[in-house]
Amino acid sequence: MATTAKDPGTPIVLRSDGFPEWSHEYAAAWIGLLATHRRLTRELDAELEAAHGLTLSGLELLARLASVSDRRLRLSVLAGEAGLSLSRVSRIVDALEARGLVERQNCPADARAVNAQLTPAGLVLAQAAQSTHLEAVRERFFERLDAREIATLAEVFARFAPGAPSACSAGE
């Protein structure tokens, strides 16, 4: 049992055994964020897999390729933009390449680098999967919020990730 904090804004309280934990309000905020993210990403991943045979990460890579004019990026750039390791991006690209959605190409400017080039089939699938994804996010997330709550979330998250919306081409 947690001890009652003297100040309701106190983020950390000690249980009767001395173990620290979040106060109720802080736990509701932090653990709620984590649990919501976990549940939504699981559901969105499953829907994309069932409808298009893609994971969220696979869609993100396809969408990032679709968003650049020549539909080509270095694997290292894809990894950095997506926040994934280069080895993870390489494995995802292997799977996408096996489906004919992307092609690996040597980088003419750097013989050590490899580019991923979106194929026409990859663009078609990316467009369809992105539409599915945006609709699913709208249904599972935005429909549970009113306009004021959406604006508040946008404001709050801008403090943690300034410029994130303009840097994201995948509509996560």
| Residues 17-40: tens digit of each pLDDT | 999 999 999 999 999 999 999 999
What is the predicted pLDDT for the residue at 122? 98
In tens, the pLDDT along 47-89 reads: 999 999 999 999 999 999 999 999 999 999 999 999 999 999 9
Of 53, 75, 168, which is closest to residue 122 (Cα–Cα)? Answer: 53
What is the predicted pLDDT for the residue at 168? 67
Following DSSP, what letter does each residue of 106-144 receive, concatenated? EETTEEEEEEEEE-HHHHHHHHHHHHHHHHHHHHHTGGG
Residue 162 and residue 125: Cα distance in Å, rounded? 30
Residue 104 and residue 84: Cα distance in Å, rounded? 18
Residue reference for tokens 């290292």 = 76
- Mind listing the domains of the chain with CATH numbers? 28-167 (1.10.10.10)
Q: Does the structure show a pLDDT above 70 at 133?
A: yes
Distances 112 to 8, 44, 92, 117, 130 between C-alpha atoms, Å = 56, 35, 19, 16, 32
Residue 145 and residue 152: Cα distance in Å, rounded? 10
In tens, the pLDDT along 87-119 reads: 999 999 999 999 999 999 998 888 889 999 999
Q: Residue 150: CB partners within 8 Å, gap ≥ 6?
A: 142
Helix (H, G, I), strand (E, B) or coil at 22: strand
Q: Does the structure show a pLDDT above 80 at 125?
A: yes
